Structure 1
Amino acid sequence: MATHSLLIFSLVIYATAFSINLSHADPRTDYVMRMCGKVHVQNVSNYFKYYSNITDYMQDEIYRNKFAFKDVGEPPDRLYVLAQCMDDLTNEECAMCFTQISTLIPSCFPSTGGRVYFDGCFIRAENYSFYREVLGPEDTKRCSGIVNKRQEFSVAVDEVLSQMLLKAPSFRGFASMHETSNGISAYGMASCWKILDRDLCSNCLSEAVASALSCIPSTEARVLNAGCFLRYSDTSFANDSNGGDYSEG
């Protein structure tokens, strides 16, 4: 764990050296959901050790690429971990999000693994290679209790979701959109895990869009699938800190 702490300290020093104001960063570390498995590992102490080794390795990878995966150990307790940030986060914001989210998976142990979703990043751990999974039995959605029954809002959400489904599979698995219908706005974000190819990403987001549509007229919804994350809202939530222009409408 000393190595882990040293890497975190190094990231802060690196950011400061380039005059990056981390106090104004928005890594979107809002907790969305955690799901833990129901089967237990045989040697939980090894699992904790494997996880520490993997997250130490991932800290640098996440900072550079905003995505990382690695597996360590011997079956049946070999540990596979994948983590990713939303593409609109900067590298510094992503590192901050990963530092926080990576502390939550060990609370699933001695289960064989689990998933944790933040609004800005995702992490999953299992004792098998899940990297190309698109859908799973634990996939779910979260619809807000606040609703907007105006037809214009439904139209704007439908357009946002349709455009993201078209764009994301061809754009590194990521899209952030904005649509307006008669002055009523809807905002959306879709992200596939980068290990998935275009077809698998499209399959995951097709299911996610169908789930999100069933949330209307809720003003906000999140879909948490094995291979992708999708969100819509009546308020803007995406960052523009990486200089990319992901929005349309």
Structure 2
Amino acid sequence: MGNLAGKTALVTGSSRGIGRAIAVRLGRDGALVAVHFGENEAAAKETVELIESDGGKAFAVQAVLGIPGDAHELIQAFQNGAKERTGESGLDILVNNAGATTLGTPPEEITPEEFDRVFAVNARAPFFIVQRALPLFRTGGRIINISSGLTRFANPDQVAYAMTKGAIEQLSLHFARHLAPRGITVNSVAPGITRNGQPVFDIPEAVEQMAQLSAFKQVGEAEDVASVVAFLASDDARWITGAFLDATGGTLLGG
């Protein structure tokens, strides 16, 4: 612990899955972590407890994403929580991890409502969270946006979701240029098939089938992605910005 000591981080969607693993890792590395949740307060408290049991510091913040005022509500909750614990509301690390999916709906069956929902959560919310958080960022800050390997290979049943992740990558690219004068880096991390607590990972046959897509012939663990995010959050990654980091376990290498 220690390379993020004195830093404050906000991780959206960190009550479970990859987001939880990221929050736990950043806490282990010394950051004070704001654990964001939408509705599952109990799960967010579990994440906070995991961080604290590991010697770290954390607090939960609530905001339902994908609705009007979501970014304002989230950043206000973060400011209140950070100020209560540190006396100030500065931010060093923002991880846009929260996301919604179309659950494998064929393109012909996606409704306008579903399409708008995934864009509201996955693309619109991160943009305005970054915008709203900019006055809080200290020099040398880090913005890490969780994308997906689906922006590099085709799965028609996930087209709307993949489109939102393409938007996230553009957010990273353009804000990287915009924020470089402040020493703030902005990067995208693309997980592949990663064990995230969904029921499908309890089916051995399904896991074996998914594992074949990786060059390592195994599905990823949430901690694998968290390690990549932790690197980008550290000073070691100070010369990386506007980048797309493939964290798919070699899925993009092809069969």
Q: TM-score, normalised by structure 1?
A: 0.29
Larger-Rg structure:
1
Q: TM-score, normalised by structure 2?
A: 0.28
